[in-house]
A and B are shown apart, each in its own frame.
Chain A
Amino acid sequence: QVTLKESGPVLVKPTETLTLTCTVSGFSLNTATMGVSWIRQPPGKALEWLAHIFSNDEKTYKKSLKRRLTISKDTSKSQVVLTMTDMDPVDTATYYCARINFVEPNFFDPWGQGTLVTVSS
């Protein structure tokens, strides 16, 4: 059974750096056709893809957030880490990680349960 689980702080202050960890099980981060994405959802709003990383360490970021995001993986720990710098209250959201196919068709499945991050002083 493939599962993903997000972990990280519940509350961060404006200007701080957010670090989130996605721990996966049921598949390897070395699997050639698979990767992990981060997606967020502000309260009551739509989903927004942020970044993904594949087994060959290929990384892609949402263009408008690229300067603030870094995605990395630790295959031995089955973890994918997302950092987002210079946090702002508008970054308050539930952050999800999800598995993504590297080959077509690309889709997100399954998803982690999500972790709500609030940005406030």
Chain B
Amino acid sequence: DIQMTQSPSSLSASVGDRVTITCRASQTISTYLNWYQQKPGKAPNLLIYAASSLQSGVPSRFSGSGSGTDFTLTISSLQPEDFATYYCQQSYNTLGLTFGGGTKVEIK
């Protein structure tokens, strides 16, 4: 299986901060990379697909970039509702879909 490694595992930030989360794949996955947001007690919600495409209805402060093995999720100006856990997920190998370990974004 393709291993997905996220960093950091958690971070503290203030409202208005620019936040960057990194996801690294154990092998090249082109741009087959998705990002999800999960709030406590809720199901994950798709934010970004194909590395950089913003899902309909997702605020434009969220953006994704990268290809190959290294990917980034950026929140340009952190809002109170953005405090959550974020997961990357590779869709390169549909016979073994895998997620990263998650990055928890907490209030500083």
Contacts and interface: CB of A to CB of B under 8 A. Distances in A.
A105 interface: yes
A63 B43 contact: no
B92 to A, nearest CB: 9
Contacts of A23: none
Interface residues on B, range: 20 to 34
A49, A63, A96, A107: residue with the most chain B Cβ atoms closer than 10 Å:
A107
Nearest to A113: B43
A62 B43 CA distance: 20
B66 interface: no
Contact of A49 (B45, B50, B99, B100): B99
A48 interface: yes
B84 interface: no
Given A105-B49, A111-B44, A60 B94 contact: yes
Residues of B contacting A: mostly: loop
A109 B96 contact: no
B55 interface: yes
B43 A48 contact: no
A35 to B, nearest CB: 10
A46 B101 contact: yes
Contacts of A62: 96
Nearest to B98: A49
Given A46-B102, A47-B87, A49-B98, A106 B32 contact: yes
B100 A109 contact: no
Interface of A: 37, 46-49, 52, 60, 62-63, 96, 98, 104-114
Given A46-B99, A47-B99, A112-B43, 16 more contacts: A47-B36, A47-B87, A48-B99, A49-B98, A52-B97, A60-B94, A60-B95, A62-B96, A96-B43, A104-B91, A107-B34, A107-B49, A110-B46, A111-B43, A111-B45, A113-B42
